[in-house]
Chains A and B, each alone.
Chain A
Amino acid sequence: MLLLSAPFDPAAARPRPSPGAYARVGAVAGLVAAAGLALDRLGAGPPGLGRALAVGAMHGGLIALGWLVATGAAPGWIRPAIRLAAGAALASVAARLGPWGPVGFLAVPALVLAEARGRPEMLAMGVGGVRLSHAAVGLAAGAFLGAHLLVTASLTLGYRVHLSDLAGYAGALAYDAGVNVLSAEWLFRGALFSACWRRGSFWPAALLTTGLALVRYLLDPALPHAAEARAGAVFYLGLVGLTACALRAWSGSLLPGYLAGLAFFAAYRTLTP
């Protein structure tokens, strides 16, 4: 029992990472995203490439931020963070280069797992094994919320549940699995929620990180601009976020929340206004 056996120093304090590290990650991701948007605006390169670079840079920045928070800016954090951010950006760009391009998104989770392997701080943020039952509960919760979204959106807003373009749907799913859901779970549940929960209690940590995740989605240009759609997004993404936090706390792993997010977005992608 550590309270009895481990030496205790009441004056010791937690080392704080310098804000400079966060600023650097934000600045680099912002610059690359701006460069992508500039390319898109100028029409340079294949169509949509600049925008894909911007999206990839944004997700890469979120993943790098998650890495920075999880490692506490310990020496040696920069190289893995750069590799992860670059991987996300490259996957996003590759998705635009051909019909099988979106498959490249699936390399990002593999890259994340490879970088996280053998690091105790990654285990602490929830990158580790999970029971099958926990994963199933996560999948069921996401599926329930997704189904609820479909029913409510179709009854309330008259949206259609429709799959006209299977390849596009598969690409969107790969995007969600590779960067969209991954970056949200990695940063908001893995790094931020774990750190906040570790320092305090569940509800403040869950509400804070879910609020931050909502802000990130509301700033996403891909989200429909209609007021009712944004209200729905706040409602459902809030529920998905809180569910993911509960699943992370309950199971000790990010996977159930990740599966819940995937299942929810899989349903969401079938909606057509």
Chain B
Amino acid sequence: MIVLPLLLVAVVTTVMTLTDQGSASVLRHLYLVPTLWAGLTQGAIGGGLIGALAGLLHAPVALPAVERDGLTSQTLDGLLSLGLPVLAGLLVGLLVDGSRARAARLSAVLAIQRRLAGPGSLEDALAGVAEELRVTLRARRVALLVGNDLRTARLASVPVGTLVDADSAAAFTLATGQAVASADLRADPRIAASEPPSPTPLRALSLPLASGVGVVGVMAVEWTGELSRATRAAAEELALHAGLAVENARLTMRQRRFADELSEKVEAATARLRELDQAKTEFLSVVSHELRTPLTALQGFSELLLRSVLPPEKAHRCLVYLHTEACALGRIVGELLDLSRIEAGRPLELRPESIDLDELMERNVELFAAEHRQHRFRWTPSVPGIALRADPDALDRMMKNLLSNAVKYSPRGGAVCVSASPALDHPGMVEVAVEDDGVGIPADQLPRIFERYVRVPHPETAAARGLGLGLSLVKALAEAHGGRVEVDSLPGKGSRFRVLLPGLDAHF
């Protein structure tokens, strides 16, 4: 408070008047006490005012002595006493103001760093930083425009709905990196102000927030009244710190996002690895089971043939069983060999030749129809003129896999249709389609069904045997031919698989 130094000045003056010792009184030095007090507590303005008051109050004592005695050492000392308090008050006040300003700047820099490094959104942090800057700079308003593109830049500490004019001073600073200073915004000819002039100038600075990568934003500050050089220098210094802090915050946030994404990816990869591990375990179990079934049959029938003398019909039936199981074993081994080739990244060995599609379809349909009597198999002879060049064994395996799936996933029986025709939606391609009216495949599982070891679970098909390799092999074989596999499916309605292969005229 400046009241106490004022009272002290009044006390000193009263005591000097009462003692009446003239201009040489040692009591005059007591004026320094309230002056320094005011300078230390109120800064340069307080120190200067109290010092000036002290000098003025001492003048009626010092000046008559000068008039009476002329310039002697005593009167000169009295004259110096007039100016000394104001000088001392100003000097101490300026030093105090300077150190306070430095402390405030340092504190603001720390607060800016803290706010931008803290949790929460960047918008909230920027609003906090703008408020810190406003208080430190004793400004009327501080706004922060963060971002190097005006259209996407974020605005902090401005009323909701504030729009940045593309030709504004802030936009100019953002585009050029040059600061804009205005001694009075409302009377500045460079600024098309819509506000009427005011008795007190509205000072303003538009400062670039610069970092190592260039201008990352703009700090816009407005002051009412006086703007000292020290305050302007402080604003420039704080803009520099704020620019670096904003860039650091953006980098930190980007790093956090990257770390989060990385963590999510690692989690997903770990889950996928666990899934694969589980699938491989299941695969081994299924493979063992799939191999043991035909092997058991082979062992049993061969032992029966070796140890017993059977009638010719019964022996022939045993040989038929032996042949069927050997074929099944051969198919499983073939699939495993293909799988090992695919996993090793080796191309599948194909021996392309002209294919009689009708013969292939008829043979497979009859084979499956003989084994699965509860299903109705139907095949449509292909359109005359369709010519296809492919590996017959590969095409046969594709057909068998698709028919096998159609049967497995139609547990209650139903229709299985096979057809071959030119693909109308893929010119130059021939499509071989297998369609069933089984359990179908949920939409979210469709992207996964061509992956290895993947079997779509369904309560009605839980007992179905399989390695989870069939469709991935069909896909690999189709792609090895330069074709592809497509699927349309609706849960409860059935599925339709299309193998699209290049026609004879197309490149093989």
Q: A: which residues have CB within 8 A of B?
A: 1-15, 120-121, 123-126, 128, 148, 151-152, 155-157, 194, 197-202, 228, 249, 252-253
Contact = CB atoms under 8 A, between A and B. Distances in A.
Contacts of A198: 183-184, 187, 201
Interface residues of B, number: 52
A3 B143 contact: yes
A4 B168 contact: yes
Nearest to B162: A4
A3 B168 contact: yes
Given A4-B163, A8-B192, A121-B197, 20 more contacts: A1-B141, A2-B193, A2-B222, A3-B170, A6-B169, A7-B168, A7-B191, A7-B192, A10-B172, A120-B197, A123-B199, A124-B199, A152-B59, A155-B60, A155-B63, A198-B184, A199-B183, A201-B226, A249-B226, A252-B200
Contact of A13 (B67, B143, B189): B189
B507 interface: no
A205 to B, nearest CB: 10
A5 B227 CA distance: 22
B129 to A, nearest CB: 16
Contacts of B220: 1, 3-4
23 contacts: A1-B158, A2-B169, A2-B191, A2-B204, A3-B143, A3-B170, A5-B164, A5-B168, A7-B192, A8-B180, A8-B191, A123-B196, A123-B198, A124-B197, A124-B199, A156-B64, A157-B67, A198-B183, A198-B201, A200-B183, A201-B228, A202-B226, A228-B67
Nearest to B68: A156
Contacts of A253: 199
B444 interface: no
B204 A4 contact: no
B56 interface: yes
Contacts of A5: 162-165, 168
Given A151-B60, A156-B63, A200-B183, A6 B192 contact: yes
B187 A124 contact: yes
B59 A120 contact: no
A125 B67 contact: no
A8 B169 contact: yes
A3 B180 contact: yes
A1 B155 CA distance: 12
The 6 closest A-B pairs by CB, nearest first: A124-B197, A252-B199, A8-B169, A3-B220, A7-B167, A14-B189
B158 A4 contact: yes
Nearest to A254: B199
Contacts of A10: 172, 180, 190
A16 to B, nearest CB: 11
Contacts of B172: 8, 10
B145 interface: yes
Given A156-B63, A157-B67, A3 B196 contact: no
Contacts of A120: 196-197
Interface in B418-442: none
Contacts of A124: 186-187, 196-199
A236 B356 CA distance: 122
A194 B56 CA distance: 28
A9 B229 CA distance: 25
A5 B194 CA distance: 10
Contacts of A157: 67
Contacts of B145: 4
A201 B231 CA distance: 12
Contact of A126 (B194, B195, B199): B199
A249 B198 CA distance: 12
Contacts of B170: 3-4
A156 B67 contact: yes
A14 B182 CA distance: 13
Nearest to A148: B56
A3 B66 CA distance: 56
A130 B185 CA distance: 23
Contact of B64 (A123, A125, A155, A197): A155
A17 B292 CA distance: 109
A125 B197 CA distance: 9
Contact of B190 (A12, A126, A199, A228): A12
A148 B180 contact: no
Contact of A197 (B63, B164, B201, B222): B201
B491 interface: no
A269 B59 CA distance: 21
B165 A6 contact: yes
B137 to A, nearest CB: 14
Interface string B132-169: 00000000010101000000000100100011110111
A198 B224 CA distance: 11
Contact of B60 (A6, A121, A148): A148
Nearest to B190: A12
A11 to B, nearest CB: 8
B225 interface: yes
B206 interface: yes
Contacts of B56: 148
Contacts of A201: 226-229
Contact of B185 (A3, A151, A152): A3
A151 B199 CA distance: 36
Contact of A15 (B64, B182, B189): B189
A197 to B, nearest CB: 7
Interface in B42-98: 56, 59-60, 63-64, 66-67
B62 to A, nearest CB: 9
B193 A6 contact: yes
Contacts of A8: 167-169, 171-172, 180, 190-192
A253 B199 CA distance: 7
A4 B142 CA distance: 11
A152 B58 CA distance: 10
Contacts of B190: 8-12
Nearest to A155: B64
Contacts of B202: 2
